[in-house]
Amino acid sequence: MSNIKRRDFLKGSSVAASALLINNLSANSLISGPIANQSNKISGSHFGAFRAHIKGGQFTGVTPFEDDPLPSPMINALPDRTYSKTRVEYPMVREGFLKDGHKSDTSKRGSDKFVRVSWDKALELVTSEIKRVQKDYGYKSIYAGSYGWYCTGKLHNPQTVMNRMMKISGGYVGRIGDYSTGAAQVILPHVVGSIEVYEQQTSWPLVLKHAKNVVFWGANPMVTCQIEWDVAGHGAFPYLEQLQKAHKKGDINVYSVDPMRNDTAMYFDSTEIRPKPNTDVAMMLGMMHYLHTSNQYDKEFIQKYTVGFKDFEDYLLGKIDKTPKTLEWASKICGVKESVIKKFAQTLKDEKSMLMAGWGVQRADHGEQFHWTLVTLACMLGQVGVPGCGFGFSYHYSNGGTPSADAPGLGGISTNINSNKNGPWKEYKPYNIPCARMVDMISNPGKSIDFNGRKIKYPEIKMVYWTSGNPFHHHQDRNTMIEAWKKLETFIVHEPFWTPTARMADIVLPATTEIERDDIEVIGDYNSSHIIAMKKAIDPIKESKDDYEICRLISKRLGYEKEFTDGKATQLDWIKEFYETSKSQAEQKGVKMPSFEEFWEKGFVKFNVKEEDKNFTRYEKYRNNPMLNPLGTPSGKIEISSRVIKKFNYDDCLHYPSWIEPTEWLGSKESKDYPLHILSPHPKYRLHSQLSNTWLRDLYEVKGREPIWISPKDAKKRGIKNGDIVKVYNKRGSTLAGAIVTNNVLSGVVRIEEGGWYDPEEPGKDKTMCIHGDVNQLTIDKGSSKLAQGNIANTALVEIEKYEGVLKPISVFNKPEIIQGL
């Protein structure tokens, strides 16, 4: 292709000097071939597997993979995304940074123009910056936690390849945990001995066979099971369909506990219980108080399978704080009628029930309490480990509960360096901070925070390096973040798109998308139904390079190319190695796999599901024999109160599950000024902020803005009508949004899906409004508690008004201002 030739030609030459020539060559590369030159190439994504239609060398459409039972509409937007106006086509440097380097005016991030440079120049700049910061300040001054969800593939994991390169350069500050389950994944190991949130669930066939009640508690699988960490297989959807049928026939009751009527509640026409946001714990305490005082809870289960019930019981009955957690007490807090709470508890007790809880509920102040309380409730109901019953925290994620296939694992690239050289990585010892405290760390170097029984000291960060993520979407409290970012000397980003994050960078290196490179991946995080070839179907767009290739070239400049590549000549060598390891593992367990060449030709291997895996019940072994199958807790049992947490002596996470008022909620004094609780659930037609830059936007936006759900009562009070553009604000920030007036949301609650791209009205101006609908203008940047330090995105109050001001056109879906040279 002309692409390659052009790159060779450009090597080492000054871009500015040959600007005219480039324009001509770029134009040449845009000529596509005849459409009759066509092929179908198999590939995969977080949204599903597909065959890419390649016509005339271009990606023009998709056919869903034949084994996908319910393909997501999102795969249809992939060709659009590939050729999006927002593609970063060439290496770019912020004008001020190109002039003044790390001494630049950092308040210009986000408003400066970008200057196109050659790859040579860009790589030189990046390498010398890494070297400078490593040398002057050491590895604890580089934050490379680089959280994000971009792309599937065992080789092209941009976070991992970047961490590999950064480790070679001397190390970096990394992250602990994630944004999804920050609170739950720290509390649950204390309670049930494992993280629980990323584990296979009791199989759907057993749920459908045994459960009389299925409760979706803050869970919306109809939306969130569209995506998976590996290639999405959508295995849960046929079971959800069966559940719908059983519900219609009256065989299984489906409940939704959520302040909103989400897609799942709509699909099942569920019986809805709508507690006020962040009050689920209070509601559950009311349920448990009722079960306890009416002498209905499962004492035998508590006795045999749990420890520490007594301390919780004292709290529940009010012996500790003189407040019995009665139905009346609970109802006052959560807003659900006493009779409804009582009936719900009674039903769950009387009939076989499965509580499927989501994670949004724990992305809240004291979010740890939600899952702990729910486990406690499930123990009092006594159905944990019974086929199809109990609790499950991952039915809404990655199609949990879809029976696992008898497949081998598939490894991927890692940060492990095989080398006898005494390189800079030898001195590096992992130093990580809780993921969502990133901005707090940058703002407060030297500060010490509590985390799960230990203290962590924030280092002084000088450089941030990001690949495959969009922190200027996912992090809470945008304006505090923008302020913190000014402290950084250097911010480097690899990106295929001009995301809000790329726009804040000093150096942007154009990265490829999945369809522009070869890779290998599993379909189905939990059920591993297939291993799939992700084939390169088109050449990289403009001057994009794979993250792997970018990091190889930087490692080469650092003098350690071989350490980075592990001596492998090509990317396919890695892919083949992952496959061969998997194949030999399969052989050990008597599963046949074709040779790599046959696999690559065919495009996938499919694995069979064994009968025993269709009958998997979580905690069944534990229930059968808790002594032989102890849990990973100190007692080996479910810990309703925890001595370990008691020793930590935290005021915001006691040693038993309890209701602790969030910093903002509908019952707090802040609700006088900001009377609406804002929630930011997962989007239906995006993966977080991904695909916001495609036509899918047209399926949901209101007058080009992210939609906000508001109840008719709240809308009327403010003179807001369906389709109005509104300003949503609090003391932290403000954003425009398009109003959808609907009964689908509880009065007093509003909802903007997370992930709408941040589009500042006046870039660079303090606390400027977002004109598009970035919900994190409004959220709070605070840890859930000293225990987990998870984010609290779903704890925030706002006010809304009809927007009468001048409407600036949305610009975040165009390129920023680019100049061809200084």
Partner 1 sequence: MKKSGIILSSIILSSSLLFAGKSSFINQDTKVFMKSDAKKEIGKIDTATPIEVLSSIGNFREIKVTGWASYGFENVLFKDIGQRIFYLVLKDNKTKKAKELAKGTDSFGSEWRKVSYKVWVNKTSLSKKINDIDKKGQELFASRCGACHASPEVQHYTANQWPSIIEAMKPRAGLSSQEAQFINKYLQRKTVKGSNHE
Q: How far is the CB of 815 from partner 1 (least distance, A)?
A: 32
CA distance 178 to 9: 43
Residue whose structure tokens are 């553009």: 725
Is 659 an active-site residue? no
Q: Candidates 34-42, 275-283, 450-458, 504-512 — which segment interacts with partner 1 by CB under 8 A? A: 450-458
CA distance 443 to 486: 9
Kindly state whether residue 519 participates in binding partner 1, applying the rule CB under 8 A: no
Kindly state whether residue 415 participates in binding partner 1, applying the rule CB under 8 A: yes
Report 428-447 residues binding partner 1 (CB under 8 A).
430, 432
Interacting residue with partner 1 among 327, 356, 413, 640 (CB under 8 A): 413
Structure tokens, 147:
């959280």
Q: How does strand 58-64 pair with strand 48-55?
A: antiparallel
Interacting residue with partner 1 among 138, 189, 318, 667 (CB under 8 A): 189
Structure tokens, 391:
């609790």
Chain centre to alpha carbon of residue 474: 8
> If you compute the radius of gyration of the chain from its CA atoms, what whole number of angstroms results?
27
Residue number with CB closer to partner 1 (176 or 797)? 176
Kindly state whether residue 746 participates in binding partner 1, applying the rule CB under 8 A: no
The site string for partner 1 over 306-325 (x = CB under 8 A, - otherwise) reads -x------------------
Residue number with CB closer to partner 1 (396 or 503)? 396
Q: How far is the CB of 490 from partner 1 (least distance, A)?
A: 21
At a CB cut-off of 8 Å and minimum separation 6, what does 716 contact? none
Q: How far is the CB of 332 from partner 1 (least distance, A)?
A: 36
Q: Candidates 169-177, 211-219, 680-688, 786-794 — which segment interacts with partner 1 by CB under 8 A? A: 169-177
Is 149 an active-site residue? yes
The site string for partner 1 over 597-636 (x = CB under 8 A, - otherwise) reads ------------------------------xx-xxxxxxx
Residue number with CB closer to partner 1 (409 or 821)? 409
Structure tokens, 501:
């994050």
Q: Candidates 192-200, 488-496, 500-508, 568-576 — which segment interacts with partner 1 by CB under 8 A? A: 192-200
Annotated catalytic residue: which of 90, 143, 149, 179? 149
Structure tokens, 584:
């030999």
Short-list 596, 554, 546, 603, CA closest to 571: 546
φ, ψ dihedrals at 265, nearest 5°: -65, -35
φ, ψ dihedrals at 38, nearest 5°: -130, 160
Kindly state whether residue 568 participates in binding partner 1, applying the rule CB under 8 A: no
The site string for partner 1 over 389-408 (x = CB under 8 A, - otherwise) reads ---------------x--xx
Alpha helices in 475-610 (DSSP H): 478-485, 500-503, 547-558, 561-565, 571-588, 596-602
Structure tokens, 203:
């199989």
Kindly state whether residue 160 participates in binding partner 1, applying the rule CB under 8 A: yes
Report 139-158 residues binding partner 1 (CB under 8 A).
145, 154, 157
Q: What is the 3-state secondary structure (H, E, C) of 583-617?
A: HHHHHHCCCCCCCHHHHHHHCEEECCECHHHHCCC
Q: How far is CA 234 from CA 145, 183, 266, 288, 449, in A?
A: 29, 27, 19, 35, 40
Residue number with CB closer to partner 1 (523 or 736)? 523
Annotated catalytic residue: which of 90, 119, 139, 147? 147
Neighbours of 589 (CB within 10 A): 9
CA distance 704 to 700: 9
Report 569-598 residues binding partner 1 (CB under 8 A).
578, 581-582, 585, 588-589
Q: How far is the CB of 406 from partner 1 (least distance, A)?
A: 10
CA distance 641 to 657: 7
Report 266-295 residues binding partner 1 (CB under 8 A).
none
Local structure of 305: helix, strand or coil: helix
Residue number with CB closer to partner 1 (456 or 550)? 456
**Binding residues for partner 1 (CB under 8 A):** 145, 154, 157, 159-160, 163, 174-176, 178, 189, 193-195, 198-200, 229-230, 307, 404, 407-416, 430, 432, 452-454, 522, 525-526, 528, 578, 581-582, 585, 588-589, 627-628, 630-636, 643-644
Catalytic residues, by residue number, are 147, 149
